Amino acid sequence: MNIVRLTGLAALILVAACKPEPVATGAPPPDVAAPAPAPASPSRFSVPLQYDITAVLRIVERVVPTRFGSLDSVKMMGNDDHRHYAFEATRGPFTAFARGDRVHLRATISYAARGYFKPRIGPTLSAGCGQGSDRPRITVELATPLALTRDWHLQTRASLVSLVPASTAGRDRCDVSIFHRDVTPMVISAARGALQDRLPSIDRRVSDVDLTERATGWWKLLNTPIRLTDGVWLVLGPEQLSVGQVTGERQRLTIPASLGARPRIVTSASPPPVVPTRLPPLERGSAGDGYHITMDGIVDYGTASRQLTAALAARTFSQSGHSVTLTRATIRPRAQGRLGVSLEFTGDARGTL
């Protein structure tokens, strides 16, 4: 003897099939969202930001003068009022590169110098270097860490890393014959003072770079619902951005950023309305790789009913010579957070459970 076991759902349908009932004409399910759940714990996404350092390069080019000194500005050499010198220098363009957490800027300075010797008796004698095309050269290197402030401005602390002859070759030294002395260190010392005087101006000008408008555009995109498929949307719900230690290579700095958000899945025929949030102050903190996501899914009753109908519709149940076919499933809200499910069927009997 064969024993047929039916699920509770099939048994109820077949019982109803034995007693035909008129077709129910209930209203369709409300096409509204379920009550909002309690806020989920924040999720974290790694969203590294990249910055092209050529903007800093342009600022330094404007702040640091291209010419230093003058051959008409004669200075005493130490405390010896018989020996004097003058120099003029021309700076070439800076090149920039990122290394670690710093932006480095290098340039070559070419110069001419002239020494004067006034003997106790007789006319003043003079000699110099760099009067032709092959002027002695000095290499200057500046460096600064680059960061973002809480109000989305750039921040630097520029420093002079090195100021040295471009090579060890004789062409990059200035030996004034009448002094029997190399005046290169004096030229470097004078150039150092001129460059160091400009460092605070570099920091002030860089701090004027305001990224608020650009960051507001990013934030607006993060607030925009993302279509996953027909009628299904991802709403990120961004709340906070924090940045970690900056690293760089070549012409770009990478700023590791961590986005704090409360994402959720929303079903809606059109983009769900979102109340945009304002760009928050930038926070400091660690920004690890990867992501940690806690997400709520919000499904309206109409969508849930259509999905359940798609899964169950056209299924036929037979027992004792009677057959019924499911045609529609409907989910409705009930009291105390419960759900009600009704099933419509047709065949040897028509009705609703």
pLDDT of residue 268: 82
Q: Where are the domains of the chain?
A: 8-32+301-352, 43-50+212-298, 51-207
Q: How far apart are CA 140 and CA 329, in angstroms?
A: 77
51-207: which CATH architecture?
Answer: Super Roll (3.15)
255 in Cβ contact with 51 (< 8 Å): yes
Q: How far apart are CA 55 and CA 209, in angstroms?
A: 9
Q: How far apart are CA 149 and CA 241, in angstroms?
A: 12
Q: How far apart are CA 226 and CA 224, in angstroms?
A: 6
Q: What is the pLDDT of residues 342-353, one digit of tens each?
A: 888 788 778 777
Question: How many CB atoms lie under 10 A from the CB of residue 229?
Answer: 7
Q: How far apart are CA 53 and CA 146, in angstroms?
A: 9
Q: How far apart are CA 280 and CA 242, in angstroms?
A: 10
Token pair 């932006």 is found at 103
Two structure tokens written together for 291: 């992501």
114 in Cβ contact with 135 (< 8 Å): no
Q: Tell me the whole-structure pTM to 2 decimals.
A: 0.63
pLDDT of residue 160: 94
pLDDT of residue 94: 92
Using the Cα atoms of residue 191, residue 193, residue 198 and residue 200 in order, give the sign of their dihedral.
Answer: positive
pLDDT of residue 11: 44
The kind and range of the H/E element at 284 are strand 283-284
pLDDT of residue 292: 58
pLDDT of residue 9: 44
Q: How far apart are CA 148 and CA 215, in angstroms?
A: 11
Q: Which residues of the chain have pLDDT under 50?
A: 1-25
Average model confidence (pLDDT) for the chain?
A: 78
pLDDT of residue 147: 80
Token pair 């101006």 is found at 201
pLDDT of residue 8: 43
Two structure tokens written together for 235: 């709403």
Two structure tokens written together for 21: 């009932």
